[in-house]
Amino acid sequence: MARALLISPPYFIFLIFLIFSYATIPTFGEEYSYVKRVNPKKMKILKEKLSHFRLYWHDIVSGSNPTSIQVVKPVNNSSTFFGSINMIDNPLTIGPKLSSKLVGKAQGFYSSAGQEEFGLLMVMNFVFIDGKYNGSTFTVLGRNKVLSKVREMEVIGGSGIFRFAKGYVQAKTYMFNSTGDATVEYNAYVKHY
């Protein structure tokens, strides 16, 4: 007759602990072996700053050197140009005139995403070429309800000086002409380190 193996409760709990420890420790270590904690001071992440940028965004669709090119045409008979997509490499200047100082470019695209009303999906990087911001970018993503006086979109990240950036922009049309060219004032409020 076979005898049952009896283990006292303290040893049983210890045995269960050993079995689960052995089974989970290697898996846990392997699963997270590609992650490590970083000291923010070593990355020069010391104090968060809030910066306000006032820039003028020039969307030039006319002439021999446009900065905004339609790459997808809208669906037929759409009064809102639904489905159209424009790629952009728009100048960012410090004043409303295109001849004012160029400090960067807005590179990305916008698409008409509203069927009943004008609403653009904006996806663009503000790429700086001036002073201490040269080479740094922040990314704007959001809905641009173009017929509203002021539109708000998100800042969702950045590079260079704007690593870990977050914030928002407010866009306000400064000029829109019969050829479709536009100048938009952007006020960007960006938190960065």
Specify if 79 maps to a domain.
yes
DSSP character at residue 189: E
What tokens appear for 175 in the block?
Answer: 């000029």
What pLDDT sits at residue 16? 63
* Within-domain flag for 31: no
- Residue recorded with tokens 């997808």: 72
Domain-embedded: residue 81? yes
Q: Is 25 left (phi over 0), alpha (psi -120 to 50) or beta?
A: alpha
**Number of domains forming the structure of the chain:** 1
Note the pLDDT tens digit of each residue in 102-146. 999 999 999 999 999 999 999 999 999 999 999 999 999 999 999
Expressed as residue numbers, the domain containing 184 is 46-192
Task: Identify which of 109, 66, 107, 63 has the alpha carbon closest to the alpha carbon of residue 85.
Answer: 109
3-state SS of the chain: helix, strand, coil percent to 5?
A: 15, 45, 40
* Domain at 146, CATH number: 2.40.480.10
**For residue 70, is it within any domain?**
yes
**Residue 29: pLDDT band by 50, 70, 90 thresholds?**
very low
Residue 51 lies in a domain: yes
Q: Is 69 a member of any domain?
A: yes
Residue 22: inside a domain: no
pLDDT digits (tens, 9 = 90+) for 30-63: 567 788 888 888 877 778 999 999 999 999 999 9
